[in-house]
Amino acid sequence: MEHVALMFVDLVVMGLGHVGLPLAHRASQAGLRTVGLDVSEQVVAGVRGGRSPVGGVADQDVAAMLGAGFTATTDPAVISTAQTVVICVPTGLAPDGTPDLSSVEAATRAVASRLRVGMLVVLESTSYPGTTQDVVRPLLESGSGLRAGDDFHLAYSPQRIDPGNPVWNVGNTPKIVSGCTELCAKYATAFYRQFVDDLVIARGTQEAEMAKLLENTYRYVNIALVNEVALFCHESGIDTWDVLHCAATKPFGFAPFTPGPGVGGHCIPVDPRYLAARAASQGFPFRMLAAAHEVLGRMPGHVAGRALRLLTEVRGDPRGARVLLLGVAYKPGVADVRESPARPVAEALCAAGAEVGYHDPYVDTFTVGGRPLPRATDLPAALDASDLAILLQEHPCYDMNALSRARCALLDTRGKVAGSRVTLL
């Protein structure tokens, strides 16, 4: 492990991923002496070399951060030099689908052994209500001998990062702030006020944790709703996309969502599972989450089934058919493939004997079943060589008019393409 010379800094950000690096970037822009701490030597080496590991921060932004004094390290000793430590490590799912707080716990233990009187510790990682008080606080107190609210300040402020969003960022997105005590909340508020325009003070850490889960659960259940509407409309011979267009014209009481091949990313498929697990531990059956999970879990199989039926129509047998997946990232304009529904779609098509490749200008490698799928770089040529293309993600670089003129059949799961050879989800 490398060692850094100890000097006092304003902020140490733990985790330089999709949450931590944008936070460090904004803090650095505001003039805070900031250090990024990550367990990955590859990530740290890249950042030190001016290369961003995430889509929300450009290489030139990293270069500007370095020029302003920012540095990255794998040495946790830097924690002891910080006035404020913000934990931005991943909170994913264990193999059995339950919350995995191992990264949060490891980061908290690293802070606990270096905690100083007067330090502010903030958790930004998304988790279930009670994590700050019941998991993070005991680890900090037992590992340091200090007491939250008296000797140091502990807060929770959920991240609201939207990768690829050109309008909303760390600075102008209203930020929820909470503390284990009123004094903790005041210290956290003073910290974030240095580089965030609008702050929203929650009553306590559980309210802030629950608010974050509600935000993404709201999207989760509404995405599930429109996907089930799409399934019903397909069975009933109703034009799903015209229904959605008409409903979206209502200027009040309706928020538009669109169907697709499923949900992906780190937040939407994961956060509701944290809420469901917490509710189950308290004996509360969150029935709507279970229903939404069931509906969204069906969508990749539904898309694959539609594709196989189209292949049967156009060439008689799906076996040996050439299928091109268009966009395997989980959202438009990003390179993130975490939990992407493109993977189960590809797995089902491969299992049926189809030859599956992909085109995605953002994703260099996409692995399915332990092997990388062939990647097309010449889109027109790849379309000409395919029996079927499936538009899974509406990347901004895709020319929908050009796709409508493709020689091959096209299954559009996003409702963006029109043409005689186009089939809508």
Q: Which CATH number fits domain 9-203: 3.40.50.720, 3.40.720.10, 3.30.470.20, 3.30.70.2610?
A: 3.40.50.720
Largest Cα span, the chain: 73
74's tokens: 């794998």
Read off the pLDDT band of 147 (50, 70, 90). Answer: very high
Given 88, 233, 267, 350, the catalytic residue: 267
Task: For tokens 């890249």, name the residue.
Answer: 46
The rounded distance, in Å, linking the Cα atoms of 317 and 320 is: 8
**Which homologous superfamily is 240-424 in?**
NAD(P)-binding Rossmann-like Domain (3.40.50.720)
The rounded distance, in Å, linking the Cα atoms of 329 and 339 is: 9
The rounded distance, in Å, linking the Cα atoms of 71 and 28 is: 10
What residue ranges of the chain are covered by domains with CATH 3.40.50.720?
9-203, 240-424
Task: Give percent above pLDDT 90 in the chain.
Answer: 90
SS3 content of the chain, % helix, strand, coil (to 5): 40, 15, 45
384's tokens: 């000409």
Read off the pLDDT band of 186 (50, 70, 90). Answer: very high
The rounded distance, in Å, linking the Cα atoms of 126 and 124 is: 6
Determine whether 88 is an active site residue. no
For 114-140, write each residue's pLDDT tens digit.
999 999 999 999 999 999 999 999 999
For 42-98, write each residue's pLDDT tens digit.
999 999 999 999 888 999 999 999 999 999 999 999 999 999 999 999 998 888 888
What residues are paired with 412 via a beta bridge? 391, 424
The torsion of the CA quartet 236, 238, 241, 243, rounded to 10 degrees, works out to: -110
The answer on pLDDT for 1 being more than 70 is no
Read off the pLDDT band of 268 (50, 70, 90). Answer: confident
Task: For tokens 């140091």, name the residue.
Answer: 152
What residues are paired with 27 via a beta bridge? none
**What is residue 269's predicted lDDT score, i.e. its pLDDT?**
87
Q: How many CB atoms lie within 10 A of CB 156?
A: 32
For 291-331, write each residue's pLDDT tens digit.
999 999 999 999 999 999 999 999 889 999 999 999 999 99
**What is residue 156's predicted lDDT score, i.e. its pLDDT?**
98
For 370-383, write each residue's pLDDT tens digit.
999 999 999 999 99
Read off the pLDDT band of 2 (50, 70, 90). Answer: low
The torsion of the CA quartet 161, 163, 165, 169, rounded to 10 degrees, works out to: 30
Read off the pLDDT band of 6 (50, 70, 90). Answer: low
The span from the first CA to the last CA of the chain, in angstroms, equals 51
**Helix/strand number for the chain, H first, E second:** 14, 17
Q: Chain centroid to CA 325: how far?
A: 21
| Contact criterion met (CB below 8 Å) for 376 and 361 | no
355's tokens: 């030859």
